[in-house]
A and B are shown apart, each in its own frame.
Chain A
């Protein structure tokens, strides 16, 4: 079964600092991986998606993620945090067998002024 693990349920950074949110996947086949963001009291919004076309994937709002097969990782980064980035971030893997997304447990990003 395919799964993702997000390390760190809470991450706090200062405004302008690097954002690094960690996600490791488990999959016996090349995975389809996603990062979604959930702002308070809202639904989820796609940040970016990995489909094996390129290992470095650029998303919206200045976020990017790098697929590293050797480390089974798909960490999300942003060079400079903004206050507006404060939200819950979810890594997800698409299971071709189940035809469904399996989400990680989420990481809450706090941005300090």
Chain B
């Protein structure tokens, strides 16, 4: 009964392809996030959703499109993958949009060749 789960754990693909990463949380939280962690371990928020509504949309290329079908799921679709998209992508959730503890998924390591 993993709290925040992501699939797949590893994703290797070629430049130009389109791929999706799925995230699900069973904590009953209202807010979900996507983070990108680069090769130097630097973590940066990409998006956040609260109750299926987009709250944060950082300066991310519009090739990245989040989708929240319900408040327990937040998927990330990436079009026309580029080498620079290689990173670990983390999904997280929290009770609400305030300064609450965020629970992180195990990450998806994306490698673009």
Task: Give chain A's interface residues, CB within 8 Å of chain B.
Answer: 32, 34, 36, 38, 41-46, 49, 51, 88, 90, 94, 96, 98-103, 105-106, 108
Question: Across the A-B interface, how many residue pairs have beta carbons closer than 8 Å?
Answer: 55
Flag if B42 contacts A42 (CB, 8 Å).
Answer: no
Flag if B97 contacts A106 (CB, 8 Å).
Answer: no
Where chain A touches its partner, the secondary structure class is strand
Please give, as numbers and ranges, the residues of chain A lying within 8 Å of B106 by CB-CB distance. Answer: 41-43
Other A-B pairs beyond A34-B101, A46-B103, 9, CB < 8 Å: A36-B104, A43-B4, A43-B92, A44-B92, A46-B102, A100-B56, A103-B43, A105-B42, A106-B41
Flag if B45 contacts A100 (CB, 8 Å).
Answer: yes
Flag if B104 contacts A45 (CB, 8 Å).
Answer: yes
Please give, as numbers and ranges, the residues of chain A lying within 8 Å of B45 by CB-CB distance. Answer: 100-102
Please give, as numbers and ranges, the residues of chain A lying within 8 Å of B99 by CB-CB distance. Answer: 32, 49, 51, 94, 96
B66: CB under 8 A from chain A? Answer: no
Closest chain-A Cβ to B60's Cβ sits at a distance in Å of 13
| Size of the chain B interface, CB-CB below 8 angstroms | 23
Please give, as numbers and ranges, the residues of chain A lying within 8 Å of B101 by CB-CB distance. Answer: 34, 46, 49
Closest chain-A Cβ to B27's Cβ sits at a distance in Å of 13
Interface centre among B48, B90, B101, B102 (most CB of A within 10 A): B102
For the complex, what is the distance from the CA of A41 to the CA of B45, rounded to whole Å? Answer: 19
Instruction: Given the known inter-chain contacts A44-B104, A51-B99, A101-B102, please indicate yes or no for A90 contacting B43, CB distance below 8 A.
Output: yes
Please give, as numbers and ranges, the residues of chain B lying within 8 Å of A88 by CB-CB distance. Answer: 41
